[in-house]
Amino acid sequence: MGGITVTEEKLIKLFNSMTLEEKLGELWQPMNRVYDENGVLTYIDVKANYSKEDIYRSGSTLNLFGTDRLRAVQDDHVKNNPHHIPLLYMADIIHGYATVFPNPIAQSCSFDLELIKESARVTAKESTLAGINVTFFPMIDIVRDPRWGRVVESAGEDPYLAYSVCRALVEGLQGDGLDKPYTMAACVKHFAGYGAAEGGRDYNTVELTENTLRNVYLWGYKGGIDADAAMIMTSYNEMGGIPSTCNKHLFRDILRDEWGYKGVVITDLFALSSMATHGIGDDSEEDDTDYLYRSLAEKAMTAGIDIEMGSHHYKKLALSVAEGKLDEKLIDEACLRWLKLKNKLGLFENPYRFTDDEKAKDVMLCDEHKDVARRLAAESCVLLKNEENILPLGRQSGKIAMIGPFVESERLNGSWVIHVADSVRTLRTVTEQRCSDLEICFAKGCSALGREQARESKRFGYTDEEHREEMIREAVEIARSVDTVVLTLGEISEQAGEAKSRSNICIPDVQLELFDRVYEVNKKIVVLLYNGRPLDISYINDRAKAILDVWYLGTMMNDAVVDLLLGEKMPSGKLSMSFPKTVAQIPVYYNHLRTDHRVEPYWSEYIDDCNSEPLYPFGYGLTYTELSYGETAVDKTHFKTDETVTVSCDIANLGDRDCTETAELYITDRFASVARPVKELKGFKRVYIPAGKTVTVTFEINIEMLKYYNENNEYVADPGSFYVKIARDSGFDEGKEMTRIFLTKD
């Protein structure tokens, strides 16, 4: 059964037939709990004083799964909605539906935009077959503080990489248009600045100047806008005291007027009502909470927020219009944008769109999709150290022991996963299947968390405290008896994600005890690091021979990890976020501004033993061969605004294994009207370099790459000197190792 079939002009006719209350209803997204497991509308939140009629007027819901349930809800809704307008189903599908891809922070370390785009296309196909047509993704908040739990959902610290990843994801999700098969609408989040929460504490205050907001934090979202993302989600945080969900400057001035965004804006879950938590609102009508929340709804609508997720205070705006406190035109604009999105998705033609149980049987977790997941998982891993070329494993490794709390773990999908980990094969299973020619034994060694992380282990149920000594002793005996130890260490996936900020980002104590006891009997240790954020790994970094960061990689995690351990795949990942030496150093990021006394004698440094350099910088990552970068050459040193500069560099593969290397282009604007970063990533290229060969990597620098927001927040490029370098990572000395070019006055 279909809904009404409309075209643009008929859409207007439908729209004009709607009452104000019906338009406000469309702008509400109730929680999925209003429907029972059979899709029957049951839960009516009388406390929140909304009725069945209210829900039949609503326009969408979120995180409702199961095609039978979705069809039942849609059938009932289309029948009972006053204009038979279908619901739009949305969900948090941020790195895969049935086929789970690496967590976004890991994916961004691949720097492989084509493969990231391909993973998004797969996600869109699986999701739309399952009846979901909007995903609350990409989450592209720039973040410089690894204490923040949502690093795991992000693309790290760099504006250019975040922009590029967001654009690739939206292009993958939305394909050639939302009218095309198996495409889904992207909802870019969280606008804006959510990742700059003070202290890395989720939802916390954000203090950004307009200039920093524009030169750093807005770029990630801009990648989605430039890919025509269908939706944008507000962020929970306030910025300068103004919650995003009522920030007119963000949503009207910048998003709509400056960027020309025509899509739909939705609040985060209950973010409108939670503005009262920020202490925003008009409480002049004593003890009148309706009046207070109506003032919040007026602020949000005035700021250009179209859809209210969770709470339903937009319903109160009918009174605001009647009282002349709100221009009904704003509601009309919001509702029309919303109906146009539904129409673009073809919901009026077919409320079920591409839902198809039969086809889903062949598509969900199919070999083609698992192959994409396996390739992206391998490319997401970052080799941080590899002394004595202890990796890859092979006959030269002798007897091997795989030890640690992740050896038999299946919980490796990370955060926001629709399906329980029903398809992640353990490291032990895959190793036993694929390494039969190697002598390998296994031991858990310890639980992931112990009594020292009592609050976390109680919350996540990870502790074998009563067997602690016995487990460690067994692992030590095995470590003593072998030549090489592969030790799995890190944080559990439940320690990363929303509301998962941590003040201590070290490896958990019980795991460090295991490490020490193993290290006492065997120094040949390869660490596999499981994490949803940069961790403080300094202690193990000083002792382990090798560290491979494997993050949480989803469905094909351990197939990919074994591909790398055996050298069947070459590590190629590069860090999308700096690893601090210690949490005390945070924030530490590569594109910091040029500040005073940062050079000899380093008076700006801490007077104790920690300087301002990270343990591992943005863009860093090794492989199983030695690469040598030549000097950065330019085809001209002086150029005009309408000219480009060709920058090139020879990269030699000195080893006996072919590899793929991400070459990174950095530019420094030495003098401007505001202090500028010591260097900024402005391009990157993945290049294949055969063993023993040299390839020349080139980039074209144009005026657009030199622009920034100046002291007046105008987007300009100033004539003057710039410095460029093609590098393996951001950890080079920008004062000594860059090539100067000069933009002349026109």
Active site residues: 268
Judged by CB under 6 A, how many residues of this single chain contact ligand GLC? 7
Shortest Cβ distance from residue 320 to ligand GLC (Å)? 26
Shortest Cβ distance from residue 206 to ligand GLC (Å)? 14
DSSP summary character for residue 96: -
Shortest Cβ distance from residue 62 to ligand GLC (Å)? 6
Shortest Cβ distance from residue 154 to ligand GLC (Å)? 11
Does residue 266 interact with ligand GLC by CB under 6 A?
no
- Cα separation, 468 vs 451, in Å, equals 10
Shortest Cβ distance from residue 376 to ligand GLC (Å)? 22
Query: Which positions ≥6 away from 83 have C-beta within 8 Å?
Result: 4, 14, 17, 18, 22
Backbone angles phi, psi at 703, to 5 degrees: -60, -30
Residue among 92 and 126 whose Cβ is closer to ligand GLC: 92
CA distances from 457 to 504, 509, 743 (A): 14, 12, 57
Residue among 206 and 381 whose Cβ is closer to ligand GLC: 206
Give the bridge partners for 183, in sequence order: none
Backbone angles phi, psi at 687, to 5 degrees: -125, 140
Helix, strand or coil, per DSSP, at residue 593: strand
Query: Which positions ≥6 away from 232 have C-beta within 8 Å?
Result: 187, 188, 189, 191, 221, 224, 225, 255, 261, 263, 264, 265, 266
Residue from 76, 228, 410, 498 in contact with ligand GLC (CB under 6 A): 498
DSSP string, 621-648: -B-SS-EEE---EES-SEE-TT--EEEE
Helix, strand or coil, per DSSP, at residue 491: coil
Shortest Cβ distance from residue 104 to ligand GLC (Å)? 12
Residue among 60 and 668 whose Cβ is closer to ligand GLC: 60
- Cα separation, 556 vs 378, in Å, equals 9
* Residue type, position 652, single letter: A
Residue among 189 and 676 whose Cβ is closer to ligand GLC: 189
Residue 226 burial (CB < 10 Å; 0-12/13-18/19+)? middle
Does residue 268 interact with ligand GLC by CB under 6 A?
yes
Shortest Cβ distance from residue 444 to ligand GLC (Å)? 34
Shortest Cβ distance from residue 268 to ligand GLC (Å)? 5
Give the bridge partners for 86, in sequence order: none
Does residue 189 interact with ligand GLC by CB under 6 A?
yes
Does residue 151 interact with ligand GLC by CB under 6 A?
no
Query: Which positions ≥6 away from 436 have C-beta within 8 Å?
Result: none
Give the bridge partners for 648, in sequence order: 633, 698
Shortest Cβ distance from residue 150 to ligand GLC (Å)? 8
Helices assigned H by DSSP within 504-602: 509-521, 538-541, 557-565
Does residue 723 interact with ligand GLC by CB under 6 A?
no
> Per this entry, what is the length of the chain?
746
Angle (nearest 5°) at CA 361 between 356 and 367: 125
- Cα separation, 229 vs 186, in Å, equals 5
- The four Cα atoms 472, 478, 481, 483 give a dihedral, to 10 degrees, of -100
Residue from 197, 269, 331, 417 in contact with ligand GLC (CB under 6 A): 269
Does residue 377 interact with ligand GLC by CB under 6 A?
no
Residue among 269 and 391 whose Cβ is closer to ligand GLC: 269
Instruction: Draw the binding track, 25-64, toward ligand GLC (x: CB under 6 A; -: no contact).
Output: -------------------------------------x--
Does residue 92 interact with ligand GLC by CB under 6 A?
yes
Query: Which positions ≥6 away from 684 have C-beta within 8 Å?
Result: 111, 161, 662, 663, 664, 665
Residue among 32 and 302 whose Cβ is closer to ligand GLC: 32
- Cα separation, 297 vs 274, in Å, equals 11
Residue among 269 and 427 whose Cβ is closer to ligand GLC: 269
Shortest Cβ distance from residue 523 to ligand GLC (Å)? 44
Shortest Cβ distance from residue 269 to ligand GLC (Å)? 4
Yes or no: say if 363 and 372 are a contact pair by the CB < 8 Å rule.
no
Residue among 124 and 382 whose Cβ is closer to ligand GLC: 124
Query: Which positions ≥6 away from 629 have C-beta within 8 Å?
Result: 649, 650, 651, 663, 726, 727, 728
Residue among 74 and 267 whose Cβ is closer to ligand GLC: 267
Residue among 136 and 552 whose Cβ is closer to ligand GLC: 136
Residue among 62 and 347 whose Cβ is closer to ligand GLC: 62
Shortest Cβ distance from residue 238 to ligand GLC (Å)? 15
Residue from 136, 251, 639, 666 in contact with ligand GLC (CB under 6 A): 136
DSSP summary character for residue 37: T
Residue among 60 and 380 whose Cβ is closer to ligand GLC: 60
Cβ contacts of 701-706, under 8 Å, gap ≥ 24: 701/644, 701/645, 701/646, 701/647, 701/665, 701/667, 701/741, 702/644, 703/641, 703/642, 703/743, 705/667, 706/667, 706/669, 706/743
- Cα separation, 142 vs 151, in Å, equals 9
Which spans of this chain sit near ligand GLC (rule: CB under 6 A)?
62, 92, 136, 189, 268-269, 498
